[in-house]
Amino acid sequence: MEQVTIFGRASCGFCSLARKLCEMNELPYRYVDIETEGISKADLSKTIGKPVHTVPQIFVGEEHVGGFDHFSEMLERAATRNR
């Protein structure tokens, strides 16, 4: 799988869970704290092309996956296909 990029904030439980999913599945990932980096949800909206109301916002390679639920579902589908 291509590198996962997680845009989140330190106080976000789902952001932490997304990072743990990457670690448990041994996926290469980069975590970007939007507060530390000065990235607003409006900035993310421009990048994604639709309104962003929550974090995490997760990309696999250049493809926007969505939030934690979308990411965990994607990993579950991939695991089912590989069984």
- Domain regions of the chain by residue span: 4-81
Contact 8, 31 (CB under 8 A): yes
pLDDT at 44 over 90: yes
CATH code, residues 4-81: 3.40.30.10
pLDDT at 56 over 80: yes
Pairing mode of beta strands 29-33, 4-8: parallel
pLDDT at 81 over 90: no
For the four alpha carbons of 61, 65, 63 and 48, in that order, the dihedral sign comes to negative
pLDDT band at 53 (very low <50, low <70, confident <90, very high): very high
